[in-house]
Structure 1
């Protein structure tokens, strides 16, 4: 979902000092940031894109820069049909709704966007949220409350953890992608208790996929409902771009699919699709849906147009897979340590020795004309520092080769390879 690369996904306990200063709990983080900037490195969490030229290029620090950290997987942000739909909606409906979906905030475009989602996933119900974060926050907190149990992967996104906390359910984490650990947790839940298992198709830090088919089978055997977040796979993975659950042949066994418009769809917003016969009641009981202004008409118009085009995006999906294989194989050959042993998604994570050298490598790549994400602890698994690359279907084969040359020069200059 929406990324917070400088924030932890799982909640981290922070303690205030005796001074009563409510900011004192952030002192270690403030010092870490100050020390990093004092070393002369540009702030990797405050980069300004002065002009965006295309889905794969922008002007950063006055220089034409290849974008390899935007999650714009299918390159839909500059699609002419998508842009025109947004312009038409601005002309016909204005700039915003100024209201909640349950009041004055449902326009024709919101219904059309939900119809596009239902058609895309071949499901009965679709509910659009103002962000992907709110989709997880709202759905999870509403369906699992006090006395219920949520079993979730320890590497789950921050929006999933926050949804669990908001609903006040019992939270039961298990080791990342460990089927046996999931089953052990499910066996310990009291009989008759409400159970929700929350999984992700692609985990955004390392770009690895979940063994959904096996995990969903285990969950169903123990009477649990299943929610799968397909934020980083929707549009790309699967024969029709429906995500990892489709690719592994278990989409029909998923109770709720969560996704976002800020990745492959190329705009902003979030959604949930479901076949549950009682799902429509969520529109009246889900607080992050009821008490939030709805998306502007131009946003839902671009989203609906993009989603319908993604239904026929087979050629783009094939090219993106080729890009992923080329980048992953090339970086491995150069001697970099990657988060996965083989390409599993459009995310290729390069593991750095520590934060200081990771930041130096990030800056060296930026000076080469390449932007990637610097992800650091505690947001990352096992306290790793990562340079996280996200490929786009609009990257040409030549651009990927250029990127590999940039990594080689920067890696040698910094002493990573």
Structure 2
């Protein structure tokens, strides 16, 4: 009998070899207590959090927590049903109204996770005979949406406008085409040249979907993302986002101005056949989104944090994923997985948590430490982060 787990043997061995070196399992960290958006207890030690995607620090906002508690009391712990059956409560409509107001768009559709938002929208609008043209560094949820929808997948080199144009020009003029882009790419924290890419897409008869998961809340004048910052948000057909980053809870969404968009509620399987978000979750999301509309001071502070950390790490001698800070993500490139795990553990022992990212999730086979800044990190904390990176880097032999 064939062991269906045999396909994972190389990864099982790689993990065993890594743990045999004596390092803590970097993919199984337990936070015993979370004290704030920027501090938690890990392994009994007070630890600065620099790997949580909590960009705007909304997880402990007083108004957000109060809204969740009130909804829990009024509506109970869950909906036990799909949005198209018994799972649409007042809170689900309120969070969709908040999204429409935030993005100044006509339609908003909320999913139970950001993954399901990409899975559902892409698989529903691009089917057999259609083409999805995507950046090769696209998120797994984007690729899975393509597979589920049965469209032809055409990938192009990361952030390469000319490569996108060449791919589009080779496709049949009459075919349905969807170009899928991300505002900020989550591994290196680099920003897409959306303005030129959207122009090229429209010139070649394609619709455009932009995933703004890592830019919503802090990039753009109103926090609407890279498309807003580059002045092309009105040319985007669909914006995908998540509640699990700047919004500070869980869930996903799509906003659009397409006049036929509401039919998606009846034809999108990951929306129709999934239980809706609990009332407490949508209440926290709606409250957070409305507060993010007035988050300009937080956005400015987050950008200062990003510039300070990027320059400080570069000056210490670390190799970074981008020449300049482009987002709240700063990637520190490691020589290999073993060195990366050693550095990750050295940072954890210093009381600093970051993400260890490895192939195949990372581009070009890189191992990296991914740092995600928060608007609630104080200037003093950023200085302490740099000091801990210096000590850990020297101990792990990453810097001199």
Q: Under TM normalisation by the shorter chain, which class is it?
A: over 0.9
Give the structure 1 partner of residue 13 of structure 2. Answer: 31
- TM-score, normalised relative to structure 2: 1.00
Once the two structures are TM-superposed, the CA of residue 191 in structure 1 deviates from its matched residue by 1.7
1:40 aligns to 2:26 (yes or no): no
Superposition map of 1:130-169 within 5 A: 130-169=112-151
Cα distance in 2 between the residues matched to 1:78 and 1:414: 34
Superposition map of 1:14-413 within 5 A: 20-413=2-395
Encode CA deviations 1:300-324: one digit per residue, 9 max, x unaligned. 0000000000000000000000000
Encode CA deviations 1:258-300: one digit per residue, 9 max, x unaligned. 0000000000000000000000000000000000000000000
Once the two structures are TM-superposed, the CA of residue 383 in structure 1 deviates from its matched residue by 0.3
Once the two structures are TM-superposed, the CA of residue 113 in structure 1 deviates from its matched residue by 0.2
Cα distance in 2 between the residues matched to 1:310 and 1:380: 30
Cα distance in 1 between the residues matched to 2:173 and 2:93: 40
1:415 aligns to 2:397 (yes or no): yes
Once the two structures are TM-superposed, the CA of residue 224 in structure 1 deviates from its matched residue by 0.2
Q: Secondary structure at the match of 2:223?
A: coil
- Deviating beyond 6 angstroms after TM superposition, the runs of 4 or more aligned structure 1 residues are none
Once the two structures are TM-superposed, the CA of residue 362 in structure 1 deviates from its matched residue by 0.1
Cα distance in 2 between the residues matched to 1:299 and 1:191: 44
Cα distance in 1 between the residues matched to 2:380 and 2:303: 15
Cα distance in 2 between the residues matched to 1:414 and 1:314: 39
Q: Which runs of 5+ in 1 are unaligned?
A: 1-18
Cα distance in 1 between the residues matched to 2:360 and 2:60: 34
Cα distance in 1 between the residues matched to 2:107 and 2:154: 28
- TM-score, normalised relative to structure 1: 0.95
Cα distance in 2 between the residues matched to 1:319 and 1:408: 23
Once the two structures are TM-superposed, the CA of residue 370 in structure 1 deviates from its matched residue by 0.1
Is the contact made by 2:32 and 2:40 (CA closer than 8 Å) also made in structure 1?
yes
Cα distance in 2 between the residues matched to 1:229 and 1:262: 14
Cα distance in 1 between the residues matched to 2:225 and 2:157: 22
Alignment length (residue pairs): 399
